[in-house]
């Protein structure tokens, strides 16, 4: 197993301008200003490339990190039943919390009904591509697509679920080798540390990526794109915040810590997600920070990557809330049974949506086509503001997956409370990237 090297006290902090979250926050603000005042400059291909390039750099290392972390975590476990037990606990947690997110979206959508009175004239052509992708994402295809055509192909594409499946099988195989596999386990552990070193280097470019992504977003869509749809954006933001404070906050309180301290602990990752609109951009660093927070390494390796396909709380809130908004805008009354159908269908269509921008819109198309095909053209109503909502979807998703890893670690009896509170109380520096020593 591995232990975390003693980190530098939080008091011995670096100058403010060298702190990552400060740099990212400043970059986001500059990006907003540039996009607002100089749209032609902000929508330049080179500006867009700054954000896209950073996301590609992060995605470059996601597959190796997941492979190494999962294989190492399973290979060091003596009891094979534990892996299955952790997986079942994670799925139970995902379904309960995801249902809460869906119900909260339905509740706020019915209470406020902000879509009523909107003169909607949807353009079906604007969302045709998303609908086509949604129709191709059937449940059977999703299950079959978990199995890669080749391991090399899965790693090359960075398909999270396919890499996760192979890593679990490889980990069990390595576990069965016993002492013969010790040298290979050591090599994989060392490889993981090297990849985390690559992440530390790539993260230095985070402010540049956040600036490019935010400037392009504001420059292309601009404040004018919100128009009279600002109510939907505001309600979605408020509902997501309520979910984090109420639902995730109660889970955190049950375990014994504050959700606000946890949010502060992962603020670097949240700001990177805010700038890039992709929760995948912070996945590797989130996994590392959760281990440093006292979570079990096998739990983090299994729960977080799986959660990126099965625990998308922000996407769930968006789907139910946006479905009701579109129905209200089109003047279509949804019966109680239809709203229950939304709940059931959304539980299925949300599975497999990645943290990449646009995935939420595709799952929305899949949900609408099943609930009532007449609603599908109404997606064009929210098309122009989807980019503004994708940030909150991604932020809620990453916060939910972080809490999920802590909860399942606690459920397994493997949560180190001393390390947890030391990290949340800033007694240690969460950004310390010294290599973890083997014991």
The label of the residue with tokens 């006292």 reads: 294
Helix axes 20-37, 267-276, angle to 10 degrees: 20
**Pair of tokens at residue 100:** 């809460």
Amino acid 104: pLDDT: 95
Q: Residue 3 forms beta bridges with which residues?
A: 437
Domains of the chain: 2-438 (1.10.3860.10)
Question: Which secondary structure element, helix H or strand E, spans residue 338, and what is its range?
Answer: helix 336-349
Question: Which secondary structure element, helix H or strand E, spans residue 187, and what is its range?
Answer: helix 182-202
**Pair of tokens at residue 196:** 């985390």
**Pair of tokens at residue 70:** 């999962």
φ/ψ of 438, rounded to 5, equals -85, 150
How far is it, in rounded angstroms, from Cα 265 to Cα 21?
11
How far is it, in rounded angstroms, from Cα 75 to Cα 80?
9
Amino acid 415: pLDDT: 94
How far is it, in rounded angstroms, from Cα 187 to Cα 42?
45
List, for the chain, all residue ranges whose pLDDT scores fall below the cut of 50: 1-12, 126, 136, 228, 355-357, 433-439
Among candidates 230, 398, 368, 390, which has minimal Cα distance to 304?
398
Question: Which secondary structure element, helix H or strand E, spans residue 3, and what is its range?
Answer: strand 2-3
pLDDT, tens digit, 9 for 90 and up, residues 82-91: 778 888 899 8
How far is it, in rounded angstroms, from Cα 77 to Cα 228?
55
Would you say 297 and 291 are in contact if contact means Cβ atoms under 8 Å apart? Answer: yes
Amino acid 12: pLDDT: 47
Amino acid 176: pLDDT: 83
How far is it, in rounded angstroms, from Cα 373 to Cα 327?
11
Amino acid 13: pLDDT: 57
Among candidates 98, 71, 96, 74, which has minimal Cα distance to 84?
74
Q: What is the pTM of this model?
A: 0.74
Q: How many CB atoms lie within 10 A of CB 3?
A: 11
Helix (H/G/I), strand (E/B), else coil: 327? helix
**Pair of tokens at residue 110:** 């019915």
pLDDT, tens digit, 9 for 90 and up, residues 215-273: 887 787 666 555 546 788 889 999 999 999 999 999 999 999 999 999 999 998 898 88
Amino acid 99: pLDDT: 92
Helix (H/G/I), strand (E/B), else coil: 355? coil
DSSP string, 393-416: HHHHHHHHHHHHHHHHHHHTT---
């Amino acid at each position: 197993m591995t232990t975390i090297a003693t980190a530098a006290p939080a008091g011995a902090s670096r100058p403010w301008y060298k702190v990552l979250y400060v740099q990212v926050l400043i970059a986001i603000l500059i990006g907003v200003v540039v996009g607002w005042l100089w749209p032609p400059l902000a929508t330049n291909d080179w500006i867009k490339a700054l954000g896209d390039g950073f996301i590609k750099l992060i995605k470059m290392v996601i597959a190796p990190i997941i492979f190494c972390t999962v294989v190492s975590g399973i290979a060091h476990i003596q009891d094979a039943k534990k892996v299955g037990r952790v997986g079942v606990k994670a799925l139970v947690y995902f379904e309960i919390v995801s249902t809460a997110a869906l119900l909260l979206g339905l509740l706020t959508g019915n209470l406020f009904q902000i879509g009523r009175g909107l003169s909607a004239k949807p353009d079906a052509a604007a969302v045709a591509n998303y609908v086509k992708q949604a129709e191709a994402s059937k449940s059977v295809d999703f299950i079959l697509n978990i199995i890669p055509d080749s391991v090399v192909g899965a790693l090359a594409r960075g398909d999270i679920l396919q890499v996760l499946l192979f890593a679990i099988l490889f980990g069990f195989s390595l576990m069965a080798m016993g002492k013969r596999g010790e040298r290979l386990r050591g090599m994989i552990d060392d490889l993981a540390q090297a990849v985390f070193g690559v992440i530390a280097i790539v993260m230095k470019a985070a402010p540049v990526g956040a600036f490019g992504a935010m400037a392009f977003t504001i420059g292309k869509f601009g404040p004018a794109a919100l128009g009279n749809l600002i109510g939907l954006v505001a309600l979605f933001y408020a509902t997501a915040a309520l979910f984090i404070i109420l639902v995730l906050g109660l889970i955190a309180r049950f375990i014994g810590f504050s959700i606000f301290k946890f949010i502060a602990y992962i603020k670097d990752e949240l700001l990177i997600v805010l700038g890039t609109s992709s929760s995948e951009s912070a996945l590797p660093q989130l996994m590392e920070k959760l281990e440093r927070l006292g979570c079990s390494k096998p739990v983090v390796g299994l729960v977080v990557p799986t959660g990126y396909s099965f625990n998308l709380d922000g996407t769930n809130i968006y789907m139910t809330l946006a479905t009701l908004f579109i129905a209200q805008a089109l003047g279509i009354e949804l019966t109680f049974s239809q709203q229950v159908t939304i709940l059931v269908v959304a539980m299925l269509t949300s599975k497999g949506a990645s943290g990449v921008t646009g995935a939420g819109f595709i799952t929305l198309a899949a949900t609408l086509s099943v609930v009532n095909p007449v609603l599908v053209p109404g997606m064009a109503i929210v098309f122009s503001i989807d980019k503004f909502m994708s940030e909150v979807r991604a932020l809620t998703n990453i916060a939910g997956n972080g809490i999920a890893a802590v909860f399942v670690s606690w459920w397994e009896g493997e949560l180190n409370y001393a390390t947890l509170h030391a990290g949340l109380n800033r007694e240690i520096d969460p950004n310390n990237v010294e290599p973890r020593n083997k014991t």
